Structure 1
Amino acid sequence: MLEHLRLLSRYNQWMNDKLYSTAAQLPADELGRDRGAFFGSLLGTLNHIMVADIIWLQRFSEHPAQHPALDQIRAMPKPQALAQTLFDDFTALSAERRNLDTTIIGWCEQLNTSDLEYKLAYRNMKGEAAVKNLASLMLHFFNHQTHHRGQATTLLSQQGLDVGVTDLVTLIASE
């Protein structure tokens, strides 16, 4: 499981690099144009992914191991809403995305198998309490990113831009 999560962290970075490089071809007004997606625009969708990542990473940072890779996450302000716009400026959003992806990879490298067995207690954005297995929550974390990146690639495709290959299999080493 640990190696799978590390693979997903690298996939996350690889896909975000591709997605943001493609999105950078659009002018600011097109990035922010409401296209009827769950979070309105491409910029809204990218902000939502980051908001959700920060929320989950802040929850993960409460693990008793206190992984140093998450130190900067613990210091970040808590997002207040899933549709919160953290960055109106695409360049600033891109820079923070790169930082966050590096943090996620570093954290996954610090994890050990026993860390994954931890039962994380947290409250969702509605304040409802839950206790769930860390490994399973991490799968949700990476799956959530993939789900919304799929929406983002659709929004780019509608603008005539192709992100290219998005399949995880591309990063799986041949045997």
Structure 2
Amino acid sequence: MLRHFRMLADYNRWANAQVYDAAADLSDAEFHEDRGAFFGSLHGTLNHLLVTDRLWMHRFNGTGEAPAALGVVLHEDLAELRAARKAEDRRITDWIETLDDAALAADVTYTSVLRPGAITHPLHLAVAHMFNHHTHHRGQCHMILTSMGKPSLVLDLLHFLRGEGQHWMTT
């Protein structure tokens, strides 16, 4: 399971970079334009992913910023948001490297920003959710970009594994 999460952290970093590369071709108005996604714009969606990663990482290891709400705007500017995303992806990858099977099997307890009360479950379930959450919202980013007439992004895990992530194909 640990190797799988390390691979997902690497894939997550790569896929996020693909989305940010595509966003670099947008005007500021296009980047902030409400396109009907859950968080409105590409900016809103990418910002949300950074907010939730900071929340999860704070829950997991007690460090870093823990935004008080899911809609908190961390950075308006694409370049600043991208730099923060790169740093957070490195933080996630570095943290995953510190884990072992016992840590993944142990319980994590946290409070959701959406409802009061402690939530407890094995850490591996929360880590899986964090990566799955990215896939969900990157799909929304893809929809936003293609609705603007931008090229379709190839974000499939197997595409990554046949290219930059080829080293994960060995056992």
- Alignment pair present for 1:164 and 2:166: no
**Corresponding residue number in structure 2 for 1:68:** none
- Report deviation, 1:163: 4.8
Give the aligned partner of residue 67 of structure 2.
79
* TM-score under structure 2 length normalisation: 0.91
| Residues 8-157 of structure 1 mapped to structure 2, 5 A cutoff | 8-62=8-62, 74-76=63-65, 78-125=66-113, 126-157=115-146
Q: Unaligned 5+ residue runs, structure 1?
A: 63-73
Counterpart for residue 66 of structure 1: none
What is the one-letter code of the residue matched to 2:142?
Answer: T
Q: Hey, what's the Cα distance between the residues in 2 that align with 1:155 and 1:128?
A: 35
CA distance in 2, matches of 1:117, 1:89: 39
Q: Return the letter of the residue paired with 2:96.
A: C
Contact 1:9 1:108 in 2 (8 A): yes
Give ranges in structure 2 of 5+ residues lacking alignment: none
Q: C-alpha separation between the residues in 2 aligned to 1:19 and 1:37?
A: 15
Aligned to 1:4: 4
Q: Distance in 1 between matches of 2:118 and 2:155?
A: 35
After TM superposition, where is structure 1 displaced by more than 3 Å over at least 4 residues in a row? 171-175
Measured in 2, the distance between the counterparts of 1:22 and 1:162 equals 8
Q: Any conservation in 1 of the 2:47–2:75 contact (CA below 8 Å)?
A: yes
Q: Percent identity?
A: 40
The one-letter code matched in structure 2 to 1:164 is: L
* Cα deviation 1:113-167 (Å, max 9, x = unaligned): 1110110111111223111100011000100011001000110111122253211
* Matches of 1:109 and 1:121, distance apart in 2: 21
Rounded to whole Å, the distance in 1 between the matches of 2:31 and 2:117 is: 34
SS of the counterpart of 1:131?
A: strand
